[in-house]
Amino acid sequence: MAGLSRVDTSRIGRWWRNIDRVTLSCVGILIALGYILMLAASPAVAVRIGASREMFILKQVVFLLLAGGVVLVVSSLSRQAVQRLALIGGILALGATFLTLVHGVEIKGARRWIALPLMSVQPSEFLKPFFAVMTGWLLAERRRRVIFGSIRFPGMLIAFACFALILLLLKAQPDIGMLSVITMVFFIQLFVDGLPLLFVGAGVGAMIAAFAGAYVAFPHVRSRVERFLHPNVGDHYQIDTALRAFGNGGLTGRGPGEGRVKDLLPDAHADFVFAVAGEEYGLIICLGIILVFLVIVIRTLLKLMRESDPFVITAATGLVAGFGLQAFINMGSTLHLIPTKGMTLPLISYGGSSAISIALTLGMVLALTRHQVSASPISAQYATGGHWTSLREGPIS
């Protein structure tokens, strides 16, 4: 496949030549791991909640198939199409998030889900990637567009306004985890965009202040932080069980299906799936999983360093940062590195909303980092001459 002829000018042929095949492979690896770990982690949970053993597995097969399809389709979109998708999707997601406050299903004290016939959807999951792309577009646009003759496009201002709106919605749900991830992603985007270091420092300070505020304002946040800081006080059943699962796994793990501690993990199929991997497959495979996440993030960032479109840089950075932070928060809290925060491990944890949202994220990353042949001014020149028209990729201008 890698040697697909360059004379193959079909859509698929071009897609395959220009796509980041390493990242795409990593996504494939993650989906495969998701299947394998769901077989190990979900039956015990399913039995515990009274469902059939296979329920989670069958659903996840569908979710991951969908996710794979979404990655492929979205990765073939043009940059402009990505912008439109983000704009439309972002507005829909924002509306849906607002709807959760009115018609949401309350689970464990938070209104984050909207009940659909076959599944519940968590709109804020989709808000995250779309908002990242929108932010990137707004920030880039302010550099190049002038409105009303002489006024620069107020991209930064609009981005902040959107951010404030999202902040309010998520605080109302409440979904502090999602809120902090979106905040951090937004901040990283501002940082990459060239925010003066003074403001960077101020932003970090503000985030610390906000965290302190959350600690004071939200009892469940406080309790989790307290438990993290004082390991000997309070209930540590979940985290202890997770760490025992890792301990039981050791270097090479107990082997597929041989995990025992995993059966006692309350959320083995979702938040604590990494512990299941630790028990059954051990340190080596877990390091491999971390490496896969790291490769996706770092490789994309390195690719962006050769990129000159500010929109692509900020948008893709936001997407990949959200993805990497989510993976880090999940693994970190499973390992008791940070306070417990319910967040899925991308593509590996069970969950439809999460899988599709991550698929959108990665699909857009792949689309934005796709090799832009027609972006070259030379090719543009050739294009004007009418020679390379067939090579042009999407209607950019």
Partner 1 sequence: MAGNRPPHNDRTRPTRSPTGNGQDRGGPVRQEDRSPKRARASLDQMHTRLLGVGLGFFGLFGAVALKLAFATVIMPMEPEKRQIASQVPDIPKSDPKGQLTGDFALPDIHRATIIDRNGQTLALSLPVAQVYANPMELIDPAEAARKLKTVLPDLDEAETARRLSLRKQFVYIARDISPVQEIAINNLGIPGIYFEASERRHYPLGRTAAHILGGVDIDDHGIAGVERHFNTRLNTDRTPLRLSLDVRVQAVTRDVLQTAKDEFQAIGAAAIVMDVNTGEIIAMVSLPDYDANAFGKAPADSRFNRAVTGMYEPGSTFKLQTAAMAIQYGIAHIWDRFSTIPIHIGRFTISDIKSDHFAPWLALPDVLAKSSNPAAAHIALDVGAKKQQDWLRLMGFFDRVPIELPEASRPIVPSLRNWGLSTVMTVGFGHGVAEPPLSIVRGTAAFVNGGILIKPTLLARIQDDNSAQEADGANPDGTNTETGPGSGIGQGMKDGATGSAGKIDASGAVVPTAFRPSGGSATGSAPSASPALPRPEGIRVVSEENSALLRKMLRLDVTQGTARSAEVPGYFVGGKTGTAEKVGPNGRYLKHVNISAFTSIFPMNAPRYAVYVMLDSPHPTPKTHGFVTSGWNAAPTTGKLIARIGPMLGLFPDIKNAARIDAEMAIPLEPGIPPGRRALGPGNDPGDPRIAARREKAEKAASKAAEKAARAARRHSERG
Residues 226-285 that bind partner 1 (CB under 8 A): 240-241, 243-251, 254, 258, 260-261, 264, 278, 282-283
Nearer residue to partner 1 within complex by CB, 249 or 352: 249
Interaction residues for partner 1, span 324-343 (CB under 8 A)? 324-325, 328, 331-332, 335-337
Nearer to partner 1, 265 or 356 (CB): 265
User: Which backbone phi and psi does 77 adopt, to 5 degrees?
Assistant: -75, 155
CB atoms inside a 10 Å sphere around CB 390: 8
Stretches 19-27, 89-97, 109-117, 287-295: which one binds partner 1 (CB under 8 A)? 287-295
CB proximity list for 181: less than 8 A, separation 6 or greater: 128, 322, 325, 326, 329, 343
Tell me the backbone φ, ψ of residue 147, rounded to 5 degrees.
-110, 160
Count of CB atoms situated within 10 Å of the CB of 308: 9
Among 12, 47, 62, 161, binds partner 1 (CB under 8 A): 47
Cβ atoms of 228 and 339 within 8 Å: the answer is yes
| Other Cβ atoms closer than 10 A to 241 | 18
CB atoms within 10 A of CB 362: 28
| 3-class DSSP state of 195 | coil
188 binds partner 1 per the rule CB under 8 A: yes
When asked if residue 298 is in the footprint of partner 1 (CB under 8 A), the reply is yes
CB of 261 to partner 1, least distance (A): 5
120 touches 114 (CB < 8 A)? yes
Q: Which two tokens stand for residue 66?
A: 């969908």
Question: Which lies closer to partner 1 via its Cβ, residue 118 or residue 150?
Answer: 150
DSSP 79-133: HHHHHHHHHHHHHHHHHHHHHHHHHPEEETTEEEEEE-SS-EE-HHHHHHHHHHH
At 211, which amino acid appears? Answer: F
| For partner 1, the closer CB: 7 or 198 | 7
When the beta carbons of 4 and 66 are compared against partner 1, the nearer one is 4
Residues 82-141 that bind partner 1 (CB under 8 A): none
User: Within 10 A of 109 (CB to CB), how many other CB atoms are there?
Assistant: 7
Point out which residues pair with 106 in neighbouring strands: 111
Closer residue to partner 1 in complex, CB, 221/289? 289
**Least CB distance to partner 1 at residue 3 (A):** 6
Any contact of residue 28 with partner 1 (CB under 8 A)? no
Residue closer to partner 1, measured from CB, 12 or 164: 12
When asked if residue 155 is in the footprint of partner 1 (CB under 8 A), the reply is no
Q: Which of 236, 260, 238, 263 is nearest to 249 (CA)?
A: 260
Question: Based on CB atoms, which residue is closest to partner 1, 79 or 224?
Answer: 79
Pick between residue 69 and residue 194 the one whose CB is nearest to partner 1: 194
> What backbone torsions phi and psi does residue 331 show, to the nearest 5 degrees?
-65, -40
Q: Is 307 in the site for partner 1 (CB under 8 A)?
A: yes
Q: Residue 288, interface with partner 1 (CB under 8 A)?
A: no
Residue selected from 62, 99, 146, 202 as contacting partner 1 according to rule CB under 8 A: 146
Q: Contacts with partner 1: how many residues (CB under 8 A)?
A: 72
Specify the stretch interacting with partner 1 by CB under 8 A; choose among 124-132, 342-350, 351-359, 379-387. 379-387
Give the largest Cα separation in the chain, rounded: 74
Does residue number 24 form part of the binding site for partner 1 (CB under 8 A)? no
Whole-number minimum distance, CB 307 to partner 1, in Å? 7
Kindly state whether residue 390 participates in binding partner 1, applying the rule CB under 8 A.
no
Computed from CA positions of residues 358, 369, 195, 90, in that sequence, does the dihedral angle turn out positive or negative? Answer: negative
**Which residues within the stretch 345-364 sit at the binding site for partner 1 (CB under 8 A)?**
none
Is residue 71 within 8 Å of residue 359, measured between CB atoms?
yes
194 binds partner 1 (CB under 8 A): yes
- For residue 392 the two structure tokens come to 């042009």
Interface residue with partner 1 among 150, 305, 385, 386 (CB under 8 A) is 305
- Do 378 and 29 form a contact (C-beta atoms < 8 A)? no
CB nearer to partner 1: give 226 or 240: 240
